[in-house]
Amino acid sequence: MLEALVEALLRSRPDDVESFSAEWLLHWHKDHHEEQQEDLEPLRAERDHYRTQRDQLLQELQALGEGAQ
């Protein structure tokens, strides 16, 4: 990300480096945040699947423990 920012600064040579950098970073974050969200969706689905499986196994284990008494 920093390399891309430096490249943009060198190409544009803005008078106000701070404002240019802040705006560039906002655009960069927006563009990359959307990609990250797409990457996270399958991982979240997998996480939810394993949580459900864990909860079911814990319930079964608890039922077995109560049946032994």
Q: Where are the domains of the chain?
A: 39-69
DSSP letter assigned to residue 58: H
Instruction: Give the C-alpha separation, 41 to 65, whole Å.
Output: 36
Tens digits of per-residue pLDDT, 25-69?
Answer: 998 888 777 666 777 788 889 999 999 999 999 999 999 888 766
Helix-helix angle 2-12:17-67, to 10 degrees: 160
**pLDDT the model gives residue 34:** 67
Whether pTM > 0.85 for this model: the answer is no
Residue 59 carries which side chain, given as an amino acid letter? Answer: Q
